[in-house]
Amino acid sequence: MTGLRSYVDSDENSKIIHGDCLQALHLVDDASVDLVFADPPYNIGKQFGDFKDSWETDAAYASWCESWLALCIRKLKRSGSLFVMSSTQAIPYLDIWLRSRIEVRSRIVWHYDSSGVQAKSRFGSMYEPILHCVKDPQESVFNADDIKVEARTGAVRKLIDYRKDVPEPYSTTKVPGNVWYFPRVRYRMPEYENHPTQKPEALLERIIRTSTNAGDLVLDPFGGSFTTCAVAKRLGRRSIGIEAQEEYVKIGLRRLGIATHLDGKELVAPAKNTERRNANGVKSFLIKDPDAQGALFRA
């Protein structure tokens, strides 16, 4: 295997492989992984380091995705789960290919707040699709109790379920539906890293809690800023993250506490300016809003 470099933390629970996932996935044992979270380039022309996220045709992009998806499925245990993201226009190709190889259990919409730029000639893009797949529906892990959210009925008084033999109040919590609202990662948030498509920790937390238990192994073939591995570590899971660009591998090494230096250079978090002045020169500082899932607001 050429051009691959691996790094592990001292307790060997978090591993990073620097290289192309089509090569690096061969270093992962077959049937060893509990959860794969794959957030590949979407074929929408983004720049990731020296890599331009653009394929000649939709078919060429789908065919590339199929090669790493086939490997990911092979790495999953029988009880394992696969969450795959892509663009709204590309996900149907992946859905059709996947459903003859693995069970697509849920089609999730990650809905978020609008960016500053507003669409003028079409409906603005406010979501990204996620496919939730399981290898064997009888054996797969789904930790319903670990991900419950408040069940809002809209009623002022407690609603009673009279269909039960002994009527009882409706449950106040429920498993979330398939439309998930999480704010996108913004510059001012503490979790922000210098990566163009960083996913929110809250999104990964729900996915990891749903499909794994403590000590399980999580695999992310497109590590990016290594959100998946960072959340896996915080939740006591093991992880393997793969990333082709060295500048993002450096983020992962620091974020996972694997290294403080690489090739003699210190790995530092993005320096952020948390002070702003308004047009009159009055200072405002950013403080954490406890109700805004990690978002910051001005005081």
Q: Nearest-CA neighbor of 149 among 170, 173, 172, 169?
A: 173
Nearer to ligand SAM, 26 or 158 (CB): 26
Q: Is 51 in the site for ligand SAM (CB under 6 A)?
A: yes
Q: Is 86 in the site for ligand SAM (CB under 6 A)?
A: no
Cα–Cα distance for residue pair 72/77, rounded to 1 Å: 10
* Contact criterion met (CB below 8 Å) for 128 and 149: no
Q: Is 294 in the site for ligand SAM (CB under 6 A)?
A: no
Q: Is 194 in the site for ligand SAM (CB under 6 A)?
A: no
Q: Is 48 in the site for ligand SAM (CB under 6 A)?
A: yes
Smallest distance from ligand SAM to CB 276, Å? 26
- Cβ burial of 176 (10 Å; 0-12, 13-18, 19+) is middle
Q: Is 207 in the site for ligand SAM (CB under 6 A)?
A: no
- Structural element, H or E, at residue 23: helix 21-24
Axis-axis angle for helices 227-234, 201-211 (nearest 10):
60
First to last CA, the chain: 53
Q: Is 34 in the site for ligand SAM (CB under 6 A)?
A: no
Phi first, then psi: give them for residue 107, nearest 5 degrees: -110, 105
**Near ligand SAM by CB under 6 A, which window of 2-10, 131-139, 219-227, 280-288?**
219-227
Smallest distance from ligand SAM to CB 19, Å? 7
* Contact criterion met (CB below 8 Å) for 280 and 274: no
Smallest distance from ligand SAM to CB 49, Å? 6
The total of other beta-carbon atoms located within 10 Å of residue 234's CB is 12
Q: Which two tokens stand for residue 16?
A: 């990073």
The total of other beta-carbon atoms located within 10 Å of residue 282's CB is 8
* Contact criterion met (CB below 8 Å) for 257 and 21: no
Smallest distance from ligand SAM to CB 141, Å? 21
Site string for ligand SAM, 145-184 (x = CB under 6 A): ----------------------------------------
Axis-axis angle for helices 58-75, 91-98 (nearest 10):
40
Q: Which two tokens stand for residue 245?
A: 């660009």
The total of other beta-carbon atoms located within 10 Å of residue 92's CB is 13
Q: Which residue is nearest to ligand SAM (CB)?
A: 224
Smallest distance from ligand SAM to CB 56, Å? 16
Q: Is 212 in the site for ligand SAM (CB under 6 A)?
A: no
Residue pointed to by tokens 């990964």: 204
Q: According to CB under 6 A, which one of 41, 80, 252, 294 is a site residue for ligand SAM?
A: 41
Q: According to CB under 6 A, which one of 15, 16, 36, 39 is a site residue for ligand SAM?
A: 39
**Near ligand SAM by CB under 6 A, which window of 37-45, 69-77, 167-175, 282-290?**
37-45
Smallest distance from ligand SAM to CB 69, Å? 13
Q: According to CB under 6 A, which one of 130, 229, 242, 258 is a site residue for ligand SAM?
A: 242
Residue pointed to by tokens 């570590």: 233
Q: Is 61 in the site for ligand SAM (CB under 6 A)?
A: no
Q: Is 128 in the site for ligand SAM (CB under 6 A)?
A: no
**Interface residue list for ligand SAM (CB under 6 A):** 20-21, 39-41, 48-49, 51, 195, 197-199, 222, 224-225, 227, 242-245, 248
